[in-house]
Structure 1
Amino acid sequence: MPQLNPNPWFLIMLASWAIFLLLMQPKLLSFTPTNSPPNKTKTTPNPTPWTWPWT
């Protein structure tokens, strides 16, 4: 069975992880969202009581 031979696929997996860790991850971690949640003010909702039909 050729699927059990890890010779070519192990190097492909290592290369893909190296590309992710060395090239993609620093670019993704340096991204700062333009509308970050900590800058927003917190508003507490004012709930209205439910009017039950049998009361």
Structure 2
Amino acid sequence: MPQLNPNPWFPIMLASWLTFSLVIQPKLTAFISTNNPAKTTTTTKTMPWTWPWT
């Protein structure tokens, strides 16, 4: 069964993870989001649910 032969797929997996780790990941971590979420300190009061069958 060719699926169990790791010979062609293992180097492809290693190359893709090395590409992600060395090239793509530093570019993604250097990205600074311009839309920082605002911190809200307001709390909402929740009301308990009244079950109609009790």
TM-score of the superposition, structure 2-length normalised? 0.71
Q: 1:34 to 1:3 in 2, by over 3 A?
A: same
Aligned to 2:20: 20
Unaligned runs of 5+ in 1: 50-55
Moved over 4 A (4+): none
How far is the alpha carbon of 1:28 from its aligned partner? 0.4
Aligned length: 49
TM-score of the superposition, structure 1-length normalised? 0.70
Unaligned runs of 5+ in 2: 48-54
Aligned to 2:6: 6
When the two chains are superposed, the root-mean-square deviation of aligned CA atoms in Å is 2.3
